[in-house]
Amino acid sequence: MIVRLLLVLLLAGCATLTPAQEHSAAELRAFIDRVARAYDVRPVPLVVGHDAGSIGGTYQRGMITVSTPVLFSRYRDSLIAHELAHYLLGHDEPLRGVTMLEQPQEQEQRELDANVKAVEILVRARDLPEEQALSLVYDGMLGFHRAVAAGGGVVPWGHRHPCQEMADLLARFPAHRAWTAPLECSEGAAPATAGAAPPSAAGSTFAPASPLVERVYFSDRLPARMDAGHPEVISGPPPVGRFHPSRHRAVALVVALRPWARPPRLTSRWYDEHGRELRVLETVAAAAWQSHVTPMWMLRPYPGRWTARLMVDGAAAGEFSFVVTPEPARP
């Protein structure tokens, strides 16, 4: 079955990709080249195919294959790091187990080891701090865990349940226990309530200091079009003040603008509670509602109060805060 799926991907890889898909694939190949230089090995070939069912990516017989949906997935980089880990760990060698019990257990251990190696790869080849690399790999596993829990995914042969794999990954990095302990599927985490909505305290809407800005706040959603017949009409998402490190995907700084003579340039600088600047975003406004988004994998290693400093055309427009915490919001 695996050979048939690989053949499907190889044949589909010959199909023409869109320019956006080609750009993403080129980024992946550049990353593979950086990994090869960092570990002094030959670059492994990458084959991209159109959707092959639930197969997102695999390493087998000296090559990595990914399906086209992966090219635009927010889990793309953690997935490719995991497959590169299999390559670096020599996991294309035949399994040594001889029984139907030994072989799945051996493959499960390979998957657990590849998760850990993926963190190292992201540190060495992408220059991420270890805590962010760990958070990024956890993020990809969390996404698969959610898909399985919702009935949209099946645990492949040779894998443990995704929650067990996540617990193993976090346990292998005891130096980061302070922020990983409360995460979903961590050994120290409180059990999640099935079907529970992410805990979200009502956020504040801030009065900005710029005459071009009507209001600013944080949300877990993006501005949305209200009416397809009137695409210029945009609604603001609900404000959120507290973000859970496992149950929220990202934090959006939402900015509502007043009419302008020329499109203003918005810059946001994001600081953790220790005052370290960890994110800078800049955009030129194209609509009345704007948002600067930071994925949760960048935030969860630094729990506590965050501050975003907003500038409009280089002039300060205010400082705005939110909290990343695993604890439920207080009434």
Give the range of the structural domain holding residue 108, as residue numbers without chain letter: 2-180
Q: What is the mean pLDDT of the chain?
A: 87
Has residue 188 been placed in a domain?
Answer: no
Residues 121 and 270 reside in one and the same domain: no
What CATH code is carried by the domain that includes residue 221?
Answer: 2.60.40.1930
Of 159, 180, 201, at which residue does a domain stop?
180
Residues 173 and 222 reside in one and the same domain: no
pLDDT 10s digits, 268-304: 999 999 999 999 999 999 889 999 999 999 999 999 9
Of 164, 180, 196, at which residue does a domain stop?
180
pLDDT at 50 > cutoff 90: no
Encode the chain in three state secondary structure. Answer: CHHHHHHHHHHHHCCCCCHHHHHHHHHHHHHHHHHHHHHCCCCCCEEEECCECCECEEEECCEEEEEHHHHHCCCHHHHHHHHHHHHHCCCCCCCCCCCCCHHHHHHHHHHHHHHHHHHHHHHHHHCCCHHHHHHHHHHHHHHHHHHHHCCCCCCCCCCCCHHHHHHHHHHCCHHHHHHHCCCCCCCCCCCCCCCCCCCCCECCCECCCCCCEEEEEEECCCCEECCCCCCCCEECCCCECEECCCCCCEEEEEEEECCCCCCCEEEEEEECCCCCEEEEEEEECCCCEEEEEEEHHHHCCCCEEEEEEEEECCEEEEEEEEEECCCCCCC
Residues 102 and 231 reside in one and the same domain: no
Has residue 91 been placed in a domain?
Answer: yes
Has residue 189 been placed in a domain?
Answer: no
pLDDT at 194: 47
Has residue 206 been placed in a domain?
Answer: no
Has residue 309 been placed in a domain?
Answer: yes
Residues 135 and 52 reside in one and the same domain: yes
Number of domain units in the chain:
2
What mean pLDDT do residues 52-61 have? Answer: 72
pLDDT at 111: 97
Residues 242 and 297 reside in one and the same domain: yes
The more confident residue out of 155 and 136 is 136
Q: Which of 123-127, 227-231, 236-240 has the highest mean pLDDT?
A: 123-127
Has residue 173 been placed in a domain?
Answer: yes
Is residue 267 within 8 Å of residue 280, measured between CB atoms?
A: yes
pLDDT at 22 > cutoff 90: yes
pLDDT at 205 > cutoff 90: no
Residues 12 and 87 reside in one and the same domain: yes
Residues 35 and 147 reside in one and the same domain: yes
Has residue 331 been placed in a domain?
Answer: no
Residues 138 and 226 reside in one and the same domain: no
What mean pLDDT do residues 46-56 have? Answer: 70
pTM of the full structure = 0.87
Residues 237 and 144 reside in one and the same domain: no
Q: CA–CA separation, 315 vs 317, rounded Å? A: 6
Has residue 217 been placed in a domain?
Answer: yes
